[in-house]
């Protein structure tokens, strides 16, 4: 696993689709270019949902996704 230093941590544990994606988009919109958001989710669907969402974004890049027990960690960098 690559270590990222998140600028902000977004905790969406216990929330199901589409809320992890909705909240991630809102959080990314509030970041500066180059900032890294760590998203903590418990919805297994967040792995594919956030991956798919990131592919459609011009201002966000999915750096990594890590399964850590019951928690899925997603690292998103704001690109512009």
Distance CA 50, CA 39 (A): 10
User: Quick one: pLDDT at residue 69?
Assistant: 95
Alpha-carbon distance values, 73 to 67, 78, 79, 80 (Å) = 6, 16, 19, 22
Whether the per-residue pLDDT at 10 is higher than 70: the answer is yes
Range of the domain at 46: 8-78
Catalytic hit among 17, 30, 55, 80: 17
User: Quick one: pLDDT at residue 2?
Assistant: 62
In a domain, 34, yes or no: yes
51: which 2 tokens? 């991956």
Q: For 46-56, what is each residue's pLDDT tens digit?
A: 999 999 999 99
Number of domains the chain contains: 1
In a domain, 2, yes or no: no
17 is catalytic: yes
Q: How many CB atoms lie within 10 A of CB 14?
A: 9
pLDDT band at 4 (very low <50, low <70, confident <90, very high): confident
In a domain, 3, yes or no: no
Q: Can you give the CATH number for the domain in which 69 is found? A: 3.30.110.40
């Amino acid at each position: 696993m690559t270590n990222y230093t998140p600028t902000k941590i977004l905790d969406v544990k216990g929330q199901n689709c589409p809320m992890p994606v909705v909240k991630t988009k809102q959080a990314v919109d509030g970041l500066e270019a180059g900032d890294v958001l760590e998203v903590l989710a418990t919805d297994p669907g967040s792995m594919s949902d956030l991956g798919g969402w990131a592919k459609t974004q011009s201002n966000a890049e999915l750096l990594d996704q890590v399964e850590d027990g019951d928690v899925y960690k997603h690292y998103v960098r704001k690109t512009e």
